[in-house]
Amino acid sequence: MKEFVEQYLQDNEAYFKEVSSFIYKHPETRFEEYTSAGFLAKECEKQGFKVEQNVANIETAFVATYGSGSPVIGFLGEFDALSGLSQEPNETTYQPMENDVGHGCGHNLLGTGAFAGACAVKKYLEENNLPGTVKFFGCPGEEGGSGKTFMVKEGVFDGVDAALTWHPSPANAIMSLSSLANYQVFFRFKGKAAHAANVPHLGRSALDAVELMNVGVNYLREHVIQEARIHYAVTNTGGISPNVVQANAVVLYLIRAPKVNQVDEMYQRIRKIAEGAAMMTETEVTVEFDKACSNYVQNRSLEKILYQNLQEIGAGNPSESEKQFAEQIWSTFTESEQENYLDPVTGFGYIGDGSEFDGKYLADSISPYYESQGILSGSTDVADVSWVVPTAQLTSATSALGTALHTWQMTSQGLSDFANRGMLRAAGSMALTGIKLFESEEDLDHVKEEFTEFRKKHDYNSPIPDGVRPSKLNER
């Protein structure tokens, strides 16, 4: 089985690199991934999958299916990019490209790696005439859009027995931590314009309301749980003329906590602060829910199988040129970033004090697995899939140690040889796990039993209110 998967990925290495490169060179933000999603869907068809597009009424979401019957094993792929993170690849200085969008979270690798894993399992089922179904889920809008949460709400993952995915990072490990649930909400203030010098008393400033709201929320920060995070961005200041009282202003809040009910409690308090700011300024406020996601639920049985297969594939040995490039990237970090270089990987499941990295700039080992009770100080829409399907995630080293996600350095390394090998390492680990679940009814039963026991004690309710639809960045 291992030899089959490794040979398949080796024979098709150039092809999967081309897929990743295409997505990298066509970066698109949430729910606007028309080129990336269309390209990847066509590649799925070329590989013999039957593709259903526009799933969950999302233009850039699709499901590629091969086979029939049980079990049904899913692979979760992403392909969206981030605004403000454009960067020429394989450069050691900040060199933004004309397009202001870039793959600063490595989703060109993520989507391609999951696709490669699904293709390897499909080929194995064909060669061995095995029953069952492989599904590759093209999942848009993870970055700020919670695409999978919308897909879960529409029942896209119904009938799937287990789901596998991964994420690029500087380490090799099982992502065994939970994550923060979140709400993302717009607060739109409407006031009254006036000449700010001649008749300021006739104006009602929406921008004042936004500022007062932000001050109020800043005071709230002292009175929330330690794990909570509250972020905001003023997306509309009301114009660029200081002599006009701003009649319209908008602030976008991202509210996080370990559980959805904790997020909701903070959200209700923040709404009151917004209403108070509107009262103080005699403006009106409209609250517009954008998106949300739940906390991630671990399936330990599936994580253990995935970890065994990650070990089977192995960490590999970086080449001298890869080491030199990584050292150059390292030199771009601040002293603080270098001192805290483990921070970007501890949240991804790395365990250790970094001693195995002494004198190195790239990970060449696999972190031990343990059933972490910790919480990733970030969020993922994979979480909502984990509430309806047994799910496991791994991270594979694709960047220099110390590389933080959502940085130009991460974007720059997205097409490197080291990144591509990390992508195929993840693909191989997931493929071996998928095949294991097809061939071992006992292992799959353990995975499903653990999930069933959890769901007996915990109900799932979508954190996204009815009527809320996915939206593009330029629509808000």
pLDDT given for residue 449 in this prediction: 98
Identify whether residues 64 and 122 lie together within a single domain: yes
Closest of 466, 122, 442, 117 to residue 289, by C-alpha: 466
The CATH number assigned to the domain holding 191 equals 3.30.70.360
Could you tell me if 111 and 77 are in contact, meaning their C-beta atoms sit under 8 angstroms apart?
yes
Identify whether residues 260 and 348 lie together within a single domain: no
Identify whether residues 311 and 402 lie together within a single domain: yes
Single residue among 293, 316, 347 that ends a domain in this structure: 293
- HEC states along the chain? CHHHHHHHHHHCHHHHHHHHHHHHCCCCCCCCCHHHHHHHHHHHHHCCCEEEECHHHCCCCEEEEEEECCCEEEEEEECCCEECCCCCCCCCCCCCCCCCEECCCCHHHHHHHHHHHHHHHHHHHHHHCCCEEEEEEEECCHHHHCHHHHHHHCCCCCCCCEEEEEEEECCCEECCCEECEEEEEEEEEECECCECCCCHHHCECHHHHHHHHHHHHHHHHHHCCCCCEEEEEEEECCCCCCCECCCEEEEEEEEEECCHHHHHHHHHHHHHHHHHHHHHHCCEEEEEEEEEECCCCCCHHHHHHHHHHHHHHCCCCCCHHHHHHHHHHHCCCCHHHHHCCCHHHHCCCCCCCCHHHCCCCCCCCCCCCCCCCCEECCCCCHHHHHHHCCEEEEEEECCCCCCCCCCHHHHHHHHCHHHHHHHHHHHHHHHHHHHHHHHCHHHHHHHHHHHHHHHHHCCCCCCCCCCCCCCCHHHC
Identify whether residues 371 and 268 lie together within a single domain: no
The CATH number assigned to the domain holding 153 equals 3.40.630.10
Closest of 186, 163, 175 to residue 378, by C-alpha: 175
Single residue among 293, 327, 354 that ends a domain in this structure: 293
Identify whether residues 451 and 388 lie together within a single domain: yes
Identify whether residues 305 and 276 lie together within a single domain: no
Preceding peptide of 71 cis, ω within 30° = yes
Residue at 356 is within a domain = yes
Q: What does the angle CA 112 – CA 119 – CA 429 come to, to the nearest 5 degrees?
A: 70
Residue at 80 is within a domain = yes
pLDDT, tens only, 324-338:
999 999 999 999 999
Could you tell me if 1 and 435 are in contact, meaning their C-beta atoms sit under 8 angstroms apart?
yes
pLDDT given for residue 376 in this prediction: 87
Residue 241 φ/ψ, nearest 5 degrees: -105, 110
The first and second tokens of residue 34, run together, are 């028309």
Long-range Cβ pairs for the range 5-11 (8 Å, 24+): 5/120, 5/124, 5/428, 5/431, 5/432, 5/435, 6/313, 6/428, 8/119, 8/120, 8/123, 8/124, 8/431, 9/116, 9/120, 9/424, 9/427, 9/428, 9/431
The pTM for the full model equals 0.95
What whole-number distance in Å separates Cα of residue 84 and Cα of residue 102?
7
Residue at 50 is within a domain = yes
What whole-number distance in Å separates Cα of residue 75 and Cα of residue 111?
9
Identify whether residues 117 and 14 lie together within a single domain: yes
Identify whether residues 174 and 318 lie together within a single domain: yes
The first and second tokens of residue 240, run together, are 């660029």
Identify whether residues 108 and 169 lie together within a single domain: yes
What whole-number distance in Å separates Cα of residue 44 and Cα of residue 360?
38
Structural domain count of the chain: 2
Domain range for residue 258?
A: 181-293
Single residue among 259, 293, 327 that ends a domain in this structure: 293
Residue at 98 is within a domain = yes
**Residue-wise pLDDT tens for the chain (476 aa)?**
899 999 999 999 999 999 999 999 999 999 999 999 999 999 999 999 999 999 999 999 999 999 999 999 999 999 999 999 999 999 999 999 888 999 999 999 999 999 999 999 999 999 999 999 999 999 999 999 999 999 999 999 999 999 999 999 999 999 999 999 999 999 999 999 999 999 999 999 999 999 999 999 999 999 999 999 999 999 999 999 999 999 999 999 999 999 999 999 999 999 999 999 999 999 999 999 999 999 999 999 999 999 999 999 999 999 999 999 999 999 999 999 999 999 989 989 999 999 999 999 999 999 999 998 889 888 999 999 999 999 999 999 999 999 999 999 999 999 999 999 999 999 999 999 999 999 999 999 999 999 999 999 999 999 999 999 998 876 65
pLDDT given for residue 227 in this prediction: 95
Residue at 475 is within a domain = no
Residue at 476 is within a domain = no
Residue at 169 is within a domain = yes
pLDDT given for residue 154 in this prediction: 97
Identify whether residues 82 and 21 lie together within a single domain: yes
Identify whether residues 217 and 280 lie together within a single domain: yes
Residue at 462 is within a domain = no
Identify whether residues 427 and 299 lie together within a single domain: yes
For residue 236, list its beta bridge partners.
250
What whole-number distance in Å separates Cα of residue 377 and Cα of residue 348?
10
Radius of gyration of the chain (CA): 23
Per-residue b or e along 343-359, where b marks 16 or more CB atoms closer than 10 Å to that residue's CB: ebbbbbbbeeeeeebee
Residue carrying the six token digits 């606007």 = 32
The first and second tokens of residue 243, run together, are 């002599």
pLDDT given for residue 475 in this prediction: 61
